[in-house]
Structure 1
Amino acid sequence: MAEPSLKRLQYFIALAEHGKFQLAADAVNISQPALSAELKRLEDFVGKPLFHRSPVTKLTAAGEALLPYAKSAVGAAHRFNEYAAAVNTGAPTSISIGTVATFLHRGLPQTITDFSAAHPDILVTTEEATSAAQSDMLLGHDIDIACGHMPLQHPGVICTPAARESFWLCAPTGSPITTIAEAVDSPFVIFRKSASPIYHDTVVGICRTHGFEPQIHHRTASWSAAVEMVAHGLGVSLVPSPVARNYHGDERLIFTRIGTRPNAPQAWITVRREDQSTLIGDLALGLVIASEALADPVAD
C-alpha cells in the first residue's frame, strides 16, 4: 500500500483541528465526500480508525498518537519549500521563537538583537505561548525554538535547562511580612498548576521546606498577574529572580530573597533534534547562555 501523501496528512490535521467534516473540507478546499474518502484511505493505511464519528467527531487514541507526527511531516515539508525558495532566490530565511513572558527578563530581547546583527538576512520572530502550547508548535514546525517552563519529553527534540534561579518573597509595601517564616498564615498568590507545573510545584515545595503548607487563595497564569494581585493587597507570592528583577523599584512591592535555590530548573530551551547543528541551534545556545548569565546566584 502506498505511503500517505502530504495532502492526505493535511486533511487529517484539518479534521482534527476543526472537528467537523464540512469545516475541514472548506479549510483545505475540497468537497466533503472527497475529504471523507481520503481519510478512509489514510485509516486503511494505518490499520485503525483515526476518528470517532459519533456522536461527535473526535480523535481516537491512534489519532491522538499520530497527530503530532503528521504535523511534523507537513511542517517539515513547508520548511523545505521555504529553504528551497531561499536557496533559489536569495530571500531571507526565518527563525521563529515561542516563549513565555519571563524569558523577556532572561536575555531574550538582547540575544535576538545580537543574532540579527550577525545574521541580517535571517528574520527572527517571536510568539508568546504557554509551555504546553509550545510543545505542539515545535513538533508541528510552527516555531523553531521553544522557551518554556517545562522540559519536552519527545525523541525528536533536544531540551536544555536554561536556569535554576533563586526565588523571592513578594509582599505589598507596608506588610509586616518580611521573611517566608512570617508568611505561614498569609494568603498566597500562586501559579496555576495547569499553566506551569514546575513553577507551581517549586513554590509549594519551598513552603513545605520551611515547614508549612501555603494557603492558596489566588491562582494565576502569569507572573505579572500574580505581582499585581500582591500589589493590591490580596496576598503574598514567591517569584523567580527575573520577575523580582523586573519589578525592582516598584514602590508598591517589597522583595526578600529566599536563601536556597530549588534543585530543578525552572526554564528550558528546546529545539528539534535535526536543527541542533544549524543556526537555529546556535540561536538556542545563545538563549541558554543569556539566561544562565542573568540567573540570580545564591549560596546553596
Structure 2
Amino acid sequence: MQTAVLLALLMALITASSNILLKKGFTRLNPFPVSFFSVLLSMVFLWLTTFCTGGKNYFSCRAGITVFVVIGIFAPPLVRTLTYYGIHTLGAGRSAPLRALTPFFAVLIAIRMLGESPGPPIFAGIALIIAGTMLITREQGDSANYRKIHLLYPVCAALLAGLAANLRKYGLGIMPHPVFASAVAATSASVCMSVYVLCRKNKYLPELKEFFVHRRESAYIVSAALLTSMGEITDLGSLLYGRVSLVVPIFAVTPLATLLLSRVFLRRHEKITRKIIFSALLIIAGVYIAVLHASR
C-alpha cells in the first residue's frame, strides 16, 4: 500500500514537471506535433525499458494486450493532445486544476460500474468542484487567446483519463507488467496518430517539420516526453499495487505542484494569481471529498 502511495506521489511530481517543460516548448510549436512526437518518443523509450525488465515474456498474454491496445487508441493520443491544447491555450497554471478532475471522473465511472448510489458528501464535492471551475472561467490571465471553450480541452482530457484509469486497473489484473502495458498502449497510440497524419498530411506535415527547425523548443518537448513515459510507468505501477479509489485521488496534488513550479519557472510565460490558486484548492478539496466517500 505504501508503494502505491509513493508511486502516485511520484507520478504527480513527474506530471507537474512535464507540464512546465511543455509550456516552454509551446512558444513556437503547436500542440499536435508536440503530442505526436511525444507519443513516438514514449513508445521507443518504453520498448527499450520493456526489454530491459523482462516484459517480453508477456507477449503471449493476448487478452491483456488487447485491453491496452484499446486503451492506446484513445488514452495517449486524445488525452495527451487535449492536455497539450489545454496547456497551450490556458497556461499550465489554469489548465492543471481542470485536468485534475480525473480522479472525480474515475470514481464516478467506478460507482456506475458497481451500481453504488452517491451520497451527500459526493454532491458536496461536486459543488466545490463547480465553484472552483467557475472562478477559473472568470479569471482572465496569461493567455491572450483564452476563450471559455478552451476549458473543454483539459476537462475532456480528464474524463477520458478517468475512463482509462479503470480500464488500466482491469488490464493489469490480466497482465501485471506496467512497463510492457505502457509500451503496448504507446504503440497503439503511435499507429493511430500516424494514420491520422497520413490522412491529413497536407495540414500536419508542415507542422511536424517545424519540430526539427526549432531545436531549443524541441529539446524541451523531448525532455517532457521522457518524463511522461516515466509517469506512465509509475501510474500503472501505483494502480498495480493499490486500489483506484486510493491511488487516483493522490494525482489531484498535480495542479498544486504545477502552480508552484509555474511560479518559479514560468514568470515570463504566465501569471499565477491568488484566484487561480484558490480555485485549484477548491477543486482539489471537492475531488478528495467525493473520492474518499466513494472508497468507503
TM-score by length of 1: 0.25
**Larger helix percent:** 2
Larger C-alpha radius of gyration, 1 or 2?
1
Higher strand fraction (1 or 2) = 1
